[in-house]
Amino acid sequence: MDKIDMQALLDRVVDIAQTAGKAIMEIYNKTEPETVFYKEDKSPLTLADMASHTIISEELQKLSLSIPVLSEEAANIPYEVRKSWERFWLVDPLDGTKEFIKRNNEFTVNIALIDRTRPVLGVVHAPALDVTYSATTDTGAFKLTEAGRQQITVSGQYNGQLKIVASRSHGNAAVEQFINKFPDALFMAKGSSLKFCLVAEGSAHLYPRFGPTMEWDTAAAQCVVECAGGTVTDIQGIALKYNKPDLHNPFFVVSGLKDFPWQS
């Protein structure tokens, strides 16, 4: 990234994600039921999604880097416009809206900086859990909690029990079939992009996703995983890429293992 201090930029983006997280928690902690709307694709939308989107969009613009923003809540930007972008912010203001509605705390704020087709900066903030994962290709991957900031790396290998994490709200037969290839594995369910982060920190080895996702669902967390030494690839082993004409992702597997034959 020419002429950009990536560590300083990362610190700013962490602050933005945490500010958005505070707004989300103000709504989450209200005693009255949360109002839920539904988009055309029947996916849920809450007041917290929109509050987070507004904060992140405004704060990213204040960075004065002349980098456009593509957010889930403002995604109707034609490819004819997007295809000329060399860099852009890719944002999911509230990843895991279903987890938010279920009130299980497993939702995140995702902000990524895409350079051409690859994420080079990523922040995943889980406001209800008070944990933030962050990464840049220059600095590596980190986990920030009340205990402080520590660098994280994938497990690389496993001795004993294979640990597979999968979606709490989006399981399907294809994922079950994948998991059944490893009958002795420990299965963990988790919501939102936290699944990526478990792989990045070495708490899980694999995360298979054989269902629909969008680019904003994965970009920030992919950066964290890759900067921690892992991979996020389609079933042919090709890393996920961004700013495609169609913003849907292919099916993918997140791996923290070296030379593990999950495709077999």
Q: Is the pLDDT of residue 246 over 90?
A: yes
Q: Is residue 184 part of a domain?
A: yes
Beta strands 36-38 and 44-46, pairing class: antiparallel
Last residue of a domain, one of 95, 116, 151: 151
So what's the pLDDT on residue 213? Answer: 95
Rounded CA separation 227/189 (Å): 23
So what's the pLDDT on residue 2? Answer: 57
Q: Is the pLDDT of residue 35 over 80?
A: no
Give alpha helix (H) positions in 164-211: 173-180, 194-200
Q: Is the pLDDT of residue 117 over 90?
A: yes
Give tens-digit pLDDT for 153-173. 999 988 888 999 987 655 578
Helix (H) or strand (E) holding 224: helix 215-227
So what's the pLDDT on residue 59? Answer: 97
Q: Are both 176 and 101 inside the same structural domain?
A: no
**Integer angstrom CA distances of residue 96 from 92, 117, 238, 244:** 9, 24, 25, 23
Q: Are both 21 and 81 inside the same structural domain?
A: yes
Q: Are both 63 and 29 inside the same structural domain?
A: yes
Contact between 93 and 176 under an 8 Å Cβ cutoff? The reply is no
Please count the residues of the chain: 264
Q: Are both 210 and 106 inside the same structural domain?
A: no
Q: What is the CATH number of the domain that holds 99?
A: 3.30.540.10
Q: Is the pLDDT of residue 37 over 80?
A: no
Q: Is residue 260 part of a domain?
A: no
Computed over every residue of the chain, the mean pLDDT equals: 90
Residue 75, phi then psi, degrees to nearest 5: -100, 5
Q: What is the CATH number of the domain that holds 222?
A: 3.40.190.80
Q: Are both 33 and 136 inside the same structural domain?
A: yes
Calculate mean pLDDT across residues 245-261: 92
So what's the pLDDT on residue 260? Answer: 73
Q: Is the pLDDT of residue 101 over 60?
A: yes
- Tokens 């077999």 label which residue? 264
Q: Is the pLDDT of residue 179 over 90?
A: no
Rounded CA separation 181/39 (Å): 36
Q: Counting Cβ atoms within 10 Å, is residue 54 exposed (0-12), middle (13-18) or buried (19+)?
A: middle
Q: Is residue 114 part of a domain?
A: yes
So what's the pLDDT on residue 14? Answer: 98
Region label for 145, one of left (φ > 0), alpha (ψ between -120 and 50) or beta (otherwise): beta
22-36, 80-94, 248-262: which range is least confident on average? 22-36
Calculate mean pLDDT across residues 205-211: 93
Q: Are both 231 and 209 inside the same structural domain?
A: yes
Domain count within the chain: 2
Q: Are both 32 and 119 inside the same structural domain?
A: yes
Q: Is the pLDDT of residue 252 over 60?
A: yes
**Please, what is the Cα angle at 43 between 38 and 47, to 5 degrees?**
55
Q: Which domain holds residue 185?
A: 163-255
Q: Counting Cβ atoms within 10 Å, is residue 115 exposed (0-12), middle (13-18) or buried (19+)?
A: middle
Contact between 2 and 108 under an 8 Å Cβ cutoff? The reply is no
Q: Are both 130 and 189 inside the same structural domain?
A: no
Calculate mean pLDDT across residues 179-186: 87
So what's the pLDDT on residue 158? Answer: 84
Q: Percent of the chain, pLDDT > 90?
A: 72
Q: Are both 208 and 120 inside the same structural domain?
A: no
Q: Is the pLDDT of residue 44 over 70?
A: no
Q: Are both 192 and 114 inside the same structural domain?
A: no
Residue 98, phi then psi, degrees to nearest 5: -65, -35
